[in-house]
Amino acid sequence: MKKYFTLIVVCICTATFAQKMKVKNGDFDFLQGQNEINVEFQYDDMTIYKEKLTENEYIDKHFTEQEEKSKGSGETWKKRWASAKELIWQPKFLELMNRYFQDDHGLSFQEGRSDAKYTLIVDTIWLYPGWDAAIMKQPAKVTTNLKFVETGNRNNVLAEVTSQNAPGDQWGSSFSNEDRLGEGYAKTGKSFAKLILKKAF
Protein backbone atom coordinates (compact mmCIF):
# COMPACT_ATOMS: atom_id res chain seq x y z
CA MET A 1 0.00 0.00 0.00
CA LYS A 2 2.84 2.34 0.88
CA LYS A 3 4.54 1.64 -2.48
CA TYR A 4 1.24 2.27 -4.29
CA PHE A 5 0.80 5.63 -2.55
CA THR A 6 4.37 6.62 -3.43
CA LEU A 7 3.73 5.75 -7.07
CA ILE A 8 0.63 7.97 -7.13
CA VAL A 9 2.58 10.88 -5.65
CA VAL A 10 5.34 10.47 -8.24
CA CYS A 11 2.82 10.38 -11.09
CA ILE A 12 1.12 13.52 -9.84
CA CYS A 13 4.40 15.40 -9.46
CA THR A 14 5.69 14.39 -12.89
CA ALA A 15 2.45 15.05 -14.75
CA THR A 16 2.97 17.09 -17.91
CA PHE A 17 1.15 20.38 -17.97
CA ALA A 18 -0.79 21.01 -21.14
CA GLN A 19 0.71 23.54 -23.49
CA LYS A 20 -1.70 25.99 -25.08
CA MET A 21 -0.75 27.53 -28.41
CA LYS A 22 -3.10 30.01 -30.06
CA VAL A 23 -2.90 32.10 -33.22
CA LYS A 24 -3.84 35.65 -32.18
CA ASN A 25 -3.79 37.08 -35.69
CA GLY A 26 -2.40 36.66 -39.19
CA ASP A 27 -1.30 33.59 -41.15
CA PHE A 28 1.96 32.00 -42.29
CA ASP A 29 1.62 32.02 -46.08
CA PHE A 30 4.44 34.59 -46.36
CA LEU A 31 6.95 31.91 -45.27
CA GLN A 32 6.54 29.97 -48.51
CA GLY A 33 9.50 30.60 -50.81
CA GLN A 34 11.67 32.10 -48.06
CA ASN A 35 15.15 30.73 -47.32
CA GLU A 36 16.00 32.52 -44.08
CA ILE A 37 14.12 34.02 -41.16
CA ASN A 38 15.86 36.32 -38.71
CA VAL A 39 15.17 35.44 -35.06
CA GLU A 40 15.38 37.73 -32.05
CA PHE A 41 14.86 36.73 -28.42
CA GLN A 42 13.51 39.18 -25.86
CA TYR A 43 13.43 38.86 -22.07
CA ASP A 44 12.86 42.46 -20.98
CA ASP A 45 9.42 42.01 -19.45
CA MET A 46 9.49 38.37 -18.35
CA THR A 47 8.41 37.33 -14.88
CA ILE A 48 9.19 34.18 -12.90
CA TYR A 49 7.14 31.97 -10.55
CA LYS A 50 3.53 32.52 -9.54
CA GLU A 51 4.67 35.61 -7.62
CA LYS A 52 5.72 37.08 -11.00
CA LEU A 53 9.15 38.10 -9.81
CA THR A 54 11.23 40.22 -12.15
CA GLU A 55 14.42 38.56 -13.38
CA ASN A 56 16.51 40.64 -10.97
CA GLU A 57 14.26 39.71 -8.05
CA TYR A 58 14.52 36.03 -8.97
CA ILE A 59 18.31 36.22 -9.26
CA ASP A 60 18.61 37.87 -5.84
CA LYS A 61 16.27 35.30 -4.26
CA HIS A 62 17.92 32.24 -5.76
CA PHE A 63 21.42 33.60 -5.15
CA THR A 64 20.63 34.00 -1.43
CA GLU A 65 19.14 30.50 -1.22
CA GLN A 66 22.20 28.98 -2.87
CA GLU A 67 24.61 30.90 -0.63
CA GLU A 68 22.77 29.70 2.48
CA LYS A 69 23.25 26.10 1.35
CA SER A 70 26.90 26.45 0.35
CA LYS A 71 29.09 29.54 0.38
CA GLY A 72 30.19 30.46 -3.14
CA SER A 73 27.57 28.36 -4.92
CA GLY A 74 25.36 31.42 -5.42
CA GLU A 75 28.00 33.15 -7.52
CA THR A 76 28.54 29.99 -9.57
CA TRP A 77 24.80 29.75 -10.19
CA LYS A 78 24.58 33.43 -11.26
CA LYS A 79 27.15 32.80 -14.00
CA ARG A 80 25.26 29.72 -15.16
CA TRP A 81 21.97 31.64 -15.26
CA ALA A 82 23.55 34.54 -17.16
CA SER A 83 24.82 32.21 -19.89
CA ALA A 84 21.68 30.02 -20.09
CA LYS A 85 19.88 32.21 -22.65
CA GLU A 86 22.62 32.06 -25.29
CA LEU A 87 24.00 28.60 -24.51
CA ILE A 88 20.82 26.61 -23.74
CA TRP A 89 17.45 28.27 -24.27
CA GLN A 90 17.92 29.93 -27.66
CA PRO A 91 19.85 27.05 -29.26
CA LYS A 92 17.20 24.57 -28.06
CA PHE A 93 14.40 26.60 -29.67
CA LEU A 94 16.29 27.09 -32.93
CA GLU A 95 17.37 23.45 -33.12
CA LEU A 96 13.78 22.22 -33.03
CA MET A 97 12.51 24.86 -35.48
CA ASN A 98 15.22 24.03 -38.00
CA ARG A 99 14.73 20.31 -37.58
CA TYR A 100 11.25 20.66 -39.07
CA PHE A 101 11.98 23.23 -41.80
CA GLN A 102 15.58 23.10 -43.00
CA ASP A 103 15.65 19.77 -44.84
CA ASP A 104 12.10 19.53 -46.17
CA HIS A 105 11.42 23.19 -46.94
CA GLY A 106 14.87 24.79 -47.29
CA LEU A 107 13.98 27.34 -44.62
CA SER A 108 16.29 28.18 -41.73
CA PHE A 109 15.68 30.22 -38.58
CA GLN A 110 18.84 32.00 -37.42
CA GLU A 111 19.86 34.86 -35.17
CA GLY A 112 21.74 37.82 -36.63
CA ARG A 113 20.19 37.63 -40.11
CA SER A 114 19.23 41.31 -40.30
CA ASP A 115 19.14 41.13 -44.11
CA ALA A 116 16.31 38.57 -44.03
CA LYS A 117 12.94 39.89 -45.17
CA TYR A 118 11.11 38.67 -42.06
CA THR A 119 11.96 38.47 -38.36
CA LEU A 120 10.55 36.17 -35.71
CA ILE A 121 10.50 37.80 -32.28
CA VAL A 122 10.43 35.28 -29.41
CA ASP A 123 9.33 37.28 -26.39
CA THR A 124 9.51 35.39 -23.08
CA ILE A 125 6.53 36.33 -20.89
CA TRP A 126 6.72 33.96 -17.91
CA LEU A 127 8.93 31.17 -16.56
CA TYR A 128 8.46 28.50 -13.94
CA PRO A 129 11.77 26.66 -13.36
CA GLY A 130 10.17 23.55 -11.86
CA TRP A 131 12.08 21.30 -9.45
CA ASP A 132 13.58 17.84 -9.18
CA ALA A 133 13.98 15.86 -5.97
CA ALA A 134 14.91 12.55 -7.65
CA ILE A 135 11.77 10.50 -6.88
CA MET A 136 9.48 13.52 -7.23
CA LYS A 137 9.70 16.37 -9.69
CA GLN A 138 7.75 19.03 -11.49
CA PRO A 139 8.61 20.18 -15.03
CA ALA A 140 9.50 23.72 -15.92
CA LYS A 141 6.98 25.86 -17.80
CA VAL A 142 7.72 28.48 -20.45
CA THR A 143 5.23 31.04 -21.74
CA THR A 144 6.14 33.09 -24.81
CA ASN A 145 4.71 35.42 -27.41
CA LEU A 146 5.84 34.55 -30.95
CA LYS A 147 5.56 37.33 -33.50
CA PHE A 148 6.54 37.49 -37.18
CA VAL A 149 7.27 41.02 -38.40
CA GLU A 150 8.72 42.61 -41.50
CA THR A 151 12.39 43.19 -40.67
CA GLY A 152 12.43 46.65 -42.27
CA ASN A 153 9.10 47.66 -40.73
CA ARG A 154 8.52 46.20 -37.27
CA ASN A 155 5.05 47.70 -37.11
CA ASN A 156 3.96 45.34 -39.87
CA VAL A 157 2.99 42.22 -37.90
CA LEU A 158 2.27 39.30 -40.21
CA ALA A 159 1.38 36.69 -37.57
CA GLU A 160 1.30 36.46 -33.79
CA VAL A 161 1.00 33.34 -31.63
CA THR A 162 0.80 32.88 -27.87
CA SER A 163 2.34 29.79 -26.30
CA GLN A 164 1.44 29.08 -22.69
CA ASN A 165 3.07 26.64 -20.28
CA ALA A 166 5.32 24.73 -22.66
CA PRO A 167 6.59 21.92 -20.39
CA GLY A 168 10.29 21.44 -19.81
CA ASP A 169 11.28 17.98 -18.61
CA GLN A 170 13.85 15.29 -19.31
CA TRP A 171 14.10 11.55 -18.89
CA GLY A 172 15.74 10.74 -15.59
CA SER A 173 16.66 13.54 -13.23
CA SER A 174 17.69 17.09 -14.04
CA PHE A 175 18.67 19.23 -11.07
CA SER A 176 19.42 22.30 -13.20
CA ASN A 177 16.68 24.94 -13.49
CA GLU A 178 18.41 26.23 -16.62
CA ASP A 179 18.37 22.83 -18.35
CA ARG A 180 14.70 22.20 -17.51
CA LEU A 181 13.77 25.62 -18.89
CA GLY A 182 15.81 24.81 -21.98
CA GLU A 183 13.55 21.81 -22.59
CA GLY A 184 10.58 24.19 -22.33
CA TYR A 185 12.06 26.29 -25.14
CA ALA A 186 12.67 23.12 -27.15
CA LYS A 187 9.01 22.15 -26.68
CA THR A 188 7.97 25.66 -27.74
CA GLY A 189 10.02 25.39 -30.93
CA LYS A 190 8.65 21.94 -31.72
CA SER A 191 4.99 22.88 -31.17
CA PHE A 192 5.38 26.15 -33.06
CA ALA A 193 6.99 24.41 -36.03
CA LYS A 194 4.19 21.85 -36.18
CA LEU A 195 1.57 24.62 -36.03
CA ILE A 196 3.19 26.50 -38.93
CA LEU A 197 3.53 23.34 -41.02
CA LYS A 198 -0.16 22.56 -40.48
CA LYS A 199 -1.29 26.06 -41.40
CA ALA A 200 1.05 27.02 -44.24
CA PHE A 201 2.71 24.03 -45.89
pLDDT at 201: 82
User: Is the pTM value of this prediction over 0.85?
Assistant: yes
Q: Identify the helix (H) or strand (E) that includes residue 43.
A: none
Residues 180 and 185: their CA atoms lie apart, in Å, by 9
Average pLDDT over residues 38-59: 97
Tell me how far apart the alpha carbons of residues 110 and 124 are, in angstroms, rounded to a whole number.
Answer: 17
Name the 3-class secondary structure at 123: strand
pLDDT of residue 134: 66
Domain extents in the chain: 21-200
Examine the pLDDT at 155 and tell me if it is beyond 50: yes
- Residue 3 pLDDT: 43
Distance of CA 92 to the CA centre of its chain: 8
Q: pLDDT tier at 6 (50, 70, 90 boundaries)?
A: very low
What's the confidence (pLDDT) of residue 53? 98
Q: What percent of the chain has pLDDT over 70?
A: 88
User: Angle, to 10 degrees, between the axis of helix 73-84 and the axis of helix 177-200?
Assistant: 10
pLDDT exceeds 70 at position 4: no
Q: How does pLDDT run across 75-117, given as a tens digit for each residue?
A: 999 999 999 999 999 999 999 999 999 988 999 999 999 999 9
Answer yes or no: is pLDDT of 178 > 60: yes
Give the 3-state secondary structure of residue 89.
helix
Q: What is the pLDDT of residue 131?
A: 86
Q: Rounded distance, CA 195 to CA 164, Å?
A: 14
- What's domain 21-200's architecture? 3-Layer(aba) Sandwich (3.40)
pLDDT of residue 1: 45
Q: Please state, rounded to an integer, the average pLDDT across all residues of the chain.
A: 90
The pLDDT assigned to 13 comes to: 42
What is d(CA 10, CA 107) in angstroms, rounded to the nearest whole number?
41
